[in-house]
A and B are shown apart, each in its own frame.
Chain A
Amino acid sequence: MKKILQLALGIITSVGGFLEVGSVTTAAQAGALFGYRLLWSILLGTLCLIFLVEMSGRLAAVSKHTVVDAMRERFGFPFFFIVLVGIVLVAFMVLVAELGGIGFGIQILTGVGFPWWAVPVSLLVWLLMWKGTFSLIENGASLLGLVTLSFLVAALRLHPDWSGVTSAFLPSMPSGDKAKYGFLTVSILGASISPYLMYFYSSGAVEDEWDRTYIPINRFIAGFGMIFGGVLSMAVLVVSALALQPKGIQVDTFPQAALMMTTALPRWGFYLFAFSMIFACFGAALEVSLAIAYFFSQGFGWSWSEDLEPSKNSRFAFIYTVIILLAAIPLVFGIDPIKVTMMSMALTSFTLPLAIVPFLLLMNDPIYLGKYRNGWISNSVVSIVVVISFVLALISIPLEIMGG
C-alpha cells in the first residue's frame, strides 16, 4: 500500500515538477518561430531523461549510493572536482534563471519589475529550505506545480492539427533560420535533460531508503512521470504555435509569452500563465539549490539530510544559503532572465558529457549494480542523445552568433 502511494506521489511530483523556466521559454520560442517543427527535440530530450532518471533511481536502490557518492568513490577526488566545477557553474545559472522566472511571474501580475522581487523571492526559497523537510518541499512545490496542467488544457482547446503534430515527432529541417533552429534544438535538449534532476532524484531515493524492491516502482515513476511532463512541454509549444506564430509574435520577452494563454482560455489564461511560472519556477529553484548543495555535501562526505535541522548539517546548509543569496544578485542588477535561461539551457547541453559519461560508466559497473547493470538499450539511447546534444551545442552556439 505504501508503495502504491509512493508511486502515485512520485508520478504527481514528476508532473508538477517538470515544467520550469527553461522548458517553458524554449518551448514558447520554438512554437512562435517554427510552429510544431521542434516537437521532436522535446520528445528526444524527454526519452533520454526517462532513462537517466530511471538509472539514477536504480543506482540508489541497489547500491544505496547517490549518483554523487558513487562518482566520488569510483573516480576519485580530482575527477569529481572537475565535474563539480562544470556542473555547479551551469546549475547556478539555471538557479538565477528560475528565480528570474518567479520574479517575472510576479511582475506581470503586479506591474512591479522583477529586480525588486529578486531578494524577497530568494529569501522565501531559502526559508523553505531552512525550515522545511524534504517531503514538504518535494510534495508541496510539485502539487502547486500542477497548475501547469493548464497548458495542456489550453493546447487541447485550440484544436491542433493532429497530423501536423505527429509528423513533427520526426526531425526535419526548417526553411527559415537554420542557425536559430539549431540553437533552439540544443536549448530544448538542455532544458529537458537537466543533470540536476538525476542528483535530486537519487538523493531522494537514498533519503527514502529505497531498496531493490523499489526497482519496478522506479521504472513507473521515471516512465510515466517524465512522459507526462514531456507532454506538458509539448503543450506549451503547441499553444505558442497556435496562438502566437500566426500573428508573427516572437517570444523575445516574458510579457509576450504571457499572451499565449489568452486565446485558448480568455478569462483565466493570463493568470494561469503567471501562476504556472511562479509555482513551476519555485519548485525548480528549490530542486536546483538542493542539487547543488547535495553535490558538494555528498562529494565531500558532509551530512546532508534535508530532514535534519540546519545546525545538524551545517556545511550543507551553508552551501545552499550562500548560493541562493548569490543567485539573487544578477537579477537585482537587472540581468535579463530570458537571456540567462536560453544560455544556461544551451550550456547544459554542452556540459552533458561531463555529467553523463561517468554516470554511464557507473551504471555498467558490477560493483555498484551487480546484475542490475544497464542493458544495451539504456546505454545506447543515452549515449546517442548525449553525443547529439554535445555536437549540436558545439556547432550551434557559435552559429547563434552568425545566424542571430
Chain B
Amino acid sequence: MRTKGFFVLTVLLAIACKPPTPAEQMDTIVSWVSTARMVGDAWLRHTTPDKYTSQTLQQADQMLLQTGSELLKSLPPAIDSAAFDRALTSTRFNISEMSRFVEAKDASRFRQPWDSVLIYMKVMKDYSDKVESSR
C-alpha cells in the first residue's frame, strides 16, 4: 500500500513537471487560435453568452502568450523566429480586439479582427507543419 502510494505520488509529480516538445507546443497554439475563431463564430450567431466568449478569448490570448514565449526558446533553426514572433503577436492582438468588441457588444467591429484571425489560423497551421517536418 505504501509503495503504491509512493509510486502514484512520483508519477503525479512527474506529470506536472514534464515539458512539452515544440511540435506539441505548435499544436497547442493552433488549437487556441482555432478556438478563438470558433467561439467568435458562435458568438456572431448569438449562440454563446458574452461573458463566456470574452473569457475564452482572453484565455486563448493568455495561452498563446505562454506557449509562444516558451516555444520561441526552442524553435527549430529552419524557422525564422522573428517572423514567427511577429505573426503570433498579430494573432494575439486580433484576439484581444475580438474580446474587447465582445465586451462592448459591437458585432460589426468584431468582424474585422475575427476575419484576420482566420488568416493567422492558416499561418499558424503552416508553421505547425514546418515544425512537424523538421523533427
Contacts and interface: CB of A to CB of B under 8 A. Distances in A.
Contacts of B39: 259
Chain A facing B: main interface SS? helix
Contacts of B50: 111
A175 to B, nearest CB: 12
B49 interface: yes
Contact of B59 (A253, A269, A398): A253
Nearest to B37: A247
A400 B18 CA distance: 9
Nearest to A398: B11
A255 B52 contact: yes
B30 A262 contact: no
B1 A85 contact: yes
Given A82-B1, A262-B42, A404-B18, A249 B34 contact: yes
B112 interface: no
Interface in B3-49: 4, 8, 11-12, 14-15, 18, 20-21, 24, 27-28, 30-31, 34-35, 37-39, 41-42, 45, 47-49
B35 A258 contact: no
Nearest to A256: B35
Contacts of A248: 27, 30-31, 34, 125
A280 interface: no
B81 interface: no
B34 A247 contact: yes
Contact of B55 (A255, A343, A347, A398): A255
Given A247-B34, A248-B30, A249-B38, A404 B56 contact: no
B51 interface: yes
Contacts of A398: 11, 14
Given A248-B125, A249-B31, A253-B59, A347 B8 contact: yes
Given A253-B59, A259-B39, A262-B47, A401 B18 contact: yes
Contacts of A108: 49, 52
Nearest to B128: A248
A398 B10 CA distance: 9
Nearest to B125: A248
Interface residues of B, number: 33
Nearest to A265: B47
User: Size band of the A side of the interface?
Assistant: 20 to 34
Nearest to B46: A267
Given A262-B47, A266-B47, A404 B55 contact: no
A109 interface: yes
A215 B125 CA distance: 56
Nearest to B12: A343
B59 A255 contact: yes
B51 A110 contact: yes
Interface string A377-404: 0000000000000000000011011101
A250 interface: yes
A252 interface: yes
B9 to A, nearest CB: 12
Contacts of B20: 404
A270 interface: yes
Contacts of A262: 38, 41-42, 47-48
A175 B38 CA distance: 27
Contacts of B28: 250, 252
A255 B35 CA distance: 9
Interface in A215-257: 247-250, 252-253, 255-256
Interface in A120-167: none
A44 B1 CA distance: 29
Nearest to B55: A111
Interface of A: 82, 85-86, 108-111, 247-250, 252-253, 255-256, 258-259, 262, 266-270, 343, 347, 350, 397-398, 400-402, 404
Interface of B: 1, 4, 8, 11-12, 14-15, 18, 20-21, 24, 27-28, 30-31, 34-35, 37-39, 41-42, 45, 47-52, 55-56, 59, 125
Which 3 pairs, one residue from A and one from B, show the smallest C-beta to C-beta distance?
A111-B51, A250-B31, A247-B34
18 contacts: A109-B52, A111-B49, A249-B31, A249-B35, A250-B31, A255-B52, A256-B56, A258-B52, A259-B39, A259-B42, A262-B47, A266-B45, A266-B47, A267-B47, A398-B11, A398-B14, A400-B15, A401-B14
